[in-house]
Structure 1
Amino acid sequence: MTSSPQEEPITIVPDFLKETLKKFPTREAYGEWDQQTNSWRSVTWSEFAEELLKWRKALQASNIKPGDRAAVLLPNSIDSALADQAILGNGCVPVPLHAVDTPASSAYIINNSEASILFVPKTLRWNAMVSACDSFPNLKLVVVVKEDTLEHAENSPVPIVTLKDWLKAGEKETLTKPKISPGDLACVVYTSGTTGNPKGVMLTHRNIVSNVQGCGQVIDINHNDVYLSFLPFSHTFERTVTYYLAICTGAKVTFSRGVLKLAEDLQQVKPTIFISVPRVYEQFHSKFLAKIAEQGSMKKALAALNNSLGRFFCALELPLRQGYGLTETSPVVSVAVVGNNNPVTVGNPLPNVQVRIDDAGELQIKAPSVMKGYWKLPEATKEVFTEDGWFKTGDLAD
């Protein structure tokens, strides 16, 4: 993943796509389930880039300027990747919304981030937000991605348009190349605490690029790999280790149809990489044990396995790599590597990440991937950094 002498070093997120497009224009970039044909469909990197140009022109035609925030409430899909890359490519700042959030919470994030544009799958999602909060003072436009008509739009306080009409409005636009610096914001990701409103974590281009590159040094991924994307893009883990790392390496990402189809999708897509959280692996573990229990003969052999999920998957010779991270660290801090994959640990720190443990046992981080701070919360930002600049995770370690 190091740059060759002919390549310019990558310092901003859109450069990942720029370089991969040069190397692998005809290779498949993304795959998703097509409801109309009832089959999987794919696009190449060049086809994706061609469609991306239309999105960027439409965004510029909407008077969304560099630095403006753009809220995205879309399921993982080719459209959600287009939205994110268009926003970043135009020097704007993505604000991913959580699909499972309440309408009131989504409305709060839109207003708190002062988002200028919102992408939603259907008008009903927008209507629910309007019912929860009738004032969106900074929002200029709502783009409905999955509908060709707006017959369900009800008394929208903000102009609303279908994706088809939005793209058409930008066709004659002459795209202007924005100036993007490594220290500019590349996203504001909201993470909820135990009390109060969610906080917006400000991640810069430098933060994300450094984390992607750090992951790439310890995880063997290349353009022949295939991801099955399951976690939402509002989850920084998925955003960095699946979505951006795939763009960086040229790997293909196929978007899962959701939790109910996950097992079937795994069988059909046959991914070489699957990124998830412990709860999903626990479900796989439970279903596997239930299936084996039906057969009876192997029940005693499996009962001898350590209860650790990591040991379970290693015993099946499935290369499960555990890791640790936080939204505030873009997110990966550590990951187990080949030859040192102890299933009871979270691995070693990435090459560009420093860690230390204070006298109270708290893990602290210093790295180029550590966030710029919390959006509009300078005091909260100050509280999570030590006087010598280390990020206080709040987690105990040994």
Structure 2
Amino acid sequence: MTVTNIAFPDKFDYNIQSIAVPGTKRPGQTAHYRNALYGLVDVNVLPTLPDIFDNGYNINPDCRLLGHRPLVSTNPLKFGPYVWQTYKQVDVRRRRIGSALHRLFSRGELQGEDLETVGIWSQNRPEWQLVELALHAYNKVGVGLYDTLGKDSVEYIINHAHLSIIFTTVDHIPALLKLAPKVPAMKMIVSFDGLSVDARKALVAWGETVGVQVKEFSELEKYGEEHLVPPLSVSPDTVASLCYTSGTTSQPKGVVLTHGNLASSAYSNMFGMDYPPNGSVLSYLPLAHIYERVVELTTLAIGGCIGFFTGDPLRLLEDAQMLKPHFFPAVPRVLNRVYQSAMAAGNVPGLKGALFRAAVRTKLDQYHATGVSTHPFWDALVFRKIRAVLGGNVLLVSTGSAPISAEVIDFLKIALFCEITEGYGMTENCGVCTHTFKADPDCGGTIGPPQPVNELKLVDVPSMNYTVEDKPNPRGELCVRGPNCFTRYYKDEKNTRETLKDGWIHTGDVAEVDPQGRFKIVDRIKNIMKLSQGEYVALEKVENMYVACPLVQQIFVHGDPLQSYLLAVLIPDPVALAPLVSTVLGQKVAPDDIPALEKAIKDPRVVAQVLTVLNIEAKKNRLTGFETIKRLHISLDPFCIEDNTLTPTFKVRRKDAFAKFATELQALYALGEPNGDSSSKL
């Protein structure tokens, strides 16, 4: 089927963004909400993933599709400008790769269990998408492994998904060969990278000793060219992917996603999209995660192109300035850093600072009154340099995966003078559930109305005192259904039953719906702990209230059920910390003077002042007294994937984060009950 983007109307009543379906309200539940502008998509007419590719291909087969920056020098490290493969070239290559896989499975050289699964373990690169598109066209099931997953999770997923073939980068091949005795299903490893003669000889020989073939990508592609077969037919119900959630407390869960789930999500994103012909997106968020996958599927559907980053996060802005993308998908941790850097650079003493503040005030007033984010004078004088950081052409920035403050969203809208869309989704609904409407002047802090493929409802959470009869707005657990929603976890009936009830995904997030029909996440049912005096605290919610503070690079809030108050570990942003330290100590300390900062964060005066700043943020966000941090440990040793304190999607693994700083946190509790104003006590 052919799918087309549906333009956003010139005039729209932002007071009616979703509608409650008459006759659907039940005791303890709201009515079912649908998108007020586009209604509900007909679930009987759904595209498949090959339809998505064909849609982009048919717009112009000769347009660029997949781009990368080739390495031109290793000393010094240097990458060239983007080079591109067209839709027509990609079509030829996906057929070769798909034909090779189809023949290998047909001949029994590769074997699935109940599904013919294929693993991909790599950072984002064109080959990732080439394999994924081949799987879509030849009825194989893709399984993305996070590039930074630990050994245990990789082993678990290979066995759980019964992966007999894994496409990967050369640096992962030794780890996979070491795992081979523990993953008997694995029969073939394909290297995206070309191998030197010596490396190929050594790896092939090693593979032979453990019963695993090691091949190069070009070798597999040539094999497919010699045994070409046409793409296989698929239906919306055909399984396309096992997308494993990163799991903060347990083993990853394999979310079973069909062609209809993924394709309908991409289709839903096309409603209201205003994208130039062959517009570009910068690919840097992990492709094994659902957010980036659906972003790139949507780009394909509208005939856009995908420019991959070099793989080095420190070169991300260089990649953006080289690509000049029209679409920049992001997460709050990235946008918070952009916001903090822009504020630090602009909000300075003297004329420059006065002009910056005047520009921000003028544009914010204009935006809140009209929804217009451009200004001919202030954009040219002040904001064009901020916009240039992302290449200068950006039209749309999307954010999801975690909350972001309204203050940050509104500032970035006027500083980048482009549309900033905040959305909400999860792996189980293909990353698509809600997002804010274009040019809504006061949507900051909300996640917008339902997407056109979804219906939403709220359900009472009595244990947390959230009900759909709450005033001024109904509140309850957010539930969603639609053609983009999964139907099961792979080999996991227990978690399937707990998440899917009566055809609705129960998200575990508490939301409210405002009079305009926009939803807002207000709490999380999981990660609730009770303090010694009986107060329930949602630790993630508290952390999210603090992250907008410029001092915060990372924060981990900890509570003990035997204690009456909260502690925190703060990983500060050196750029924001250095001026505070300089003021408190009365001597200049630079952001890059790590030894001086290490010494300073042990000074009780510095800790007290940092806690004061954090508690200003707490008051601004109306945290209650028992939700406010009372004692603080500051460290320059960040939470990271490598030490297992972060998931690959940058969520804190609470158990491991506590273990990392257990000694320091226990020492803070050993000091006894804080007295008086917590902002001045250690």
The answer to whether residue 439 in structure 2 is matched with residue 339 in structure 1 is: yes
The answer as to 2:47 corresponding to 1:11 is yes
Choose which of 82, 85, 93 in structure 2 pairs with 1:51.
Answer: 93
Greater displacement, 139-148 / 124-133: 124-133
**Secondary structure of 2:328 counterpart:** coil
Residue 357 of structure 1 corresponds to which residue in structure 2?
458
Tell me how far 1:188 sits from its aligned partner: 0.6
Aligned residue number for residue 248 of structure 1: 301
Q: Is the 8 Å Cα contact of residues 222 and 250 (structure 1) preserved in structure 2?
A: no
Deviation at 1:296, TM superposition (A): 5.0
Hey, which bits of structure 1, 4+ residues long, moved more than 6 A? Answer: 303-307
**Does the alignment pair 1:236 with 2:309?**
no
What residue number does 2:574 align with?
none
SS of 1:171 mapped into structure 2: helix
Distance 1:371 1:197, change over 3 A: same
**AA aligned opposite 2:57:** L
Deviations, residues 251-301 of structure 1 (Å, cap 9, x unaligned): 111112231111112222111111111111011112222322467534465
Does residue 498 of structure 2 align to residue 383 of structure 1? yes
Partners of 2:82 and 2:323 within 8 A in 1 = no
Structure 2 counterpart SS, 1:30: strand
Please say if 1:159 is aligned against 2:200: no
**Contact 2:159–2:183 (CA under 8 A) maintained in structure 1:** yes
Matches within 5 A, 1:95-110: 95-110=143-158
Shift in CA distance, 140/314, structure 1 to aligned 2, threshold 3 Å: same
> Could you list the per-position Cα deviations for residues 191-216 of structure 1 after superposition, in whole angstroms to 9, with x for gaps in the alignment?
13332211111111111111111111
Which stretch of structure 1 is more off in the superposition, 355-364 or 47-56? Answer: 47-56
The answer to whether the aligner puts 1:260 opposite 2:314 as a matched pair is yes
TM-superposed CA distance for 1:2, in Å, is 4.2
- Return the letter of the residue paired with 1:314: K
8 Å CA contact retained: 1:107, 1:133: no
Out of 326, 344, 359, which is 1:290 matched to? 344
Equivalent position amino acid for 1:175 in 2: V
Answering whether residue 442 of structure 2 is matched by residue 394 of structure 1, we say no
For residue 272 of structure 1, what is the aligned residue in structure 2?
A: 326
Q: Work out the CA distance in 2 between the residues paired with 1:294 and 1:42.
A: 42
The SS at the match of 1:349 is: coil
Q: 8 Å contact 1:222–1:249 — kept in the other structure?
A: no
RMSD of aligned C-alpha atoms?
2.4
- CA distance in 2 between partners of 1:65 and 1:221 (Å): 42
Distance 1:136 1:296, change over 3 A: farther
SS of equivalent to 2:143: strand
Structure with larger RCO (C-alpha < 8 A, sep 6+): 1
TM-aligned CA deviation for residue 222 of structure 1:
5.1
**Matched residue SS, 2:297:** helix
Deviations 1:352-398 (A, max 9, x none): 21111101111000111111211110121011122x22110000101
Q: Which residue of 2 aligns with 1:91?
A: 139
Tell me, in whole angstroms, the C-alpha distance in 2 between the residues paired with 1:325 and 1:362.
14
Task: Pick the aligned partner of 1:329 from 409, 425, 429.
Answer: 429
| 1:183–1:41 Cα change, 3 Å | same
- Bigger Cα Rg: 2
Shift, 1:12, TM fit: 1.2
Which range moved further: 188-197 or 220-229?
220-229
Structure 1 distance, partners of 2:172, 2:278, is 37
Give unmatched runs, 5+ long, in structure 1: none
| Structure 1 residues 106 and 334: CA distance shift in structure 2, 3 A | same
Letter in 1 for 2:409: G
The equivalent of 1:212 in structure 2 is 266
Distance 1:220 1:203 in 2: 27
Per-residue CA deviation, residues 110-139 of structure 1 (Å, 9 max, x unaligned), is 1111112100111x3121234356322222
Query: What is the identity, as a one-letter code, of the residue corresponding to 1:139?
Result: M
Distance in 2 between residues matched to 1:204 and 1:222, nearest whole Å: 29
Identical positions, percent: 26
Equivalent residue number for residue 116 of structure 1: 164
Q: Letter of the aligned partner of 2:152 in structure 1?
A: A
Q: Which amino acid aligns with 1:265?
A: D
Q: Describe the shift of the 1:141–1:290 C-alpha distance in structure 2 as closer, same or farther (beyond 3 A).
A: same
Any conservation in 2 of the 1:204–1:372 contact (CA below 8 Å)? no
Give the Cα–Cα distance (whole angstroms) in 2 for the partners of residues 279 and 205 of structure 1.
31
Query: Counterparts of 1:135-150 in structure 2 under 5 Å?
Result: 135-149=182-196, 150=200
Distance 1:295 1:202, change over 3 A: farther
Which residue, out of 49, 54, 67, partners 1:31? 67
After superposition, give the CA deviation of every residue in 1:200-235 in whole Å (9 maximum; x if it has no partner): 111111111111111111332353421111101111
Deviations 1:132-186 (A, max 9, x none): 5632222221101112342452733211111122222233203154231211111
2-side partners of 1:320 and 1:239: how far apart?
A: 19
1:104–1:132 contact (8 Å) kept in structure 2: no
Unaligned runs of 5+ in 2: 6-44, 73-78, 365-404, 462-475, 513-682
Question: How far apart, CA to CA, are the structure 2 residues paired with 1:120 and 1:270?
Answer: 28
Measure, in 1, the Cα distance between the counterparts of 2:349 and 2:194.
Answer: 48
CA contact (8 A) 1:148 1:164 kept: no
8 Å Cα contact 1:10-1:16 kept in structure 2 = no
> Taking structure 1 as reference, are residues 355 and 128 closer, same or farther at Cα in structure 2, changes over 3 Å only?
same
1:98 to partner: Cα distance: 0.4
State the alpha-carbon separation in 2 of the partners of residues 381 and 86 from structure 1. 29
Q: Alpha-carbon deviation of 1:65?
A: 7.3
Q: Which amino acid aligns with 1:343?
A: G
Aligned to 2:120: 72
* Counterpart code for 1:313: L
Q: In the comparison of the two structures, how many residue pairs are matched? A: 391
The amino acid across from 1:128 in the alignment is A
Within the candidate set 388, 409, 412, 1:313 is matched to 412
Which shifted more, 102-111 or 132-141? Answer: 132-141
Q: Distance in 1 between matches of 2:322 and 2:219?
A: 35
2:433 counterpart SS class: strand
The Cα of 1:74 is off from its aligned counterpart by 2.1
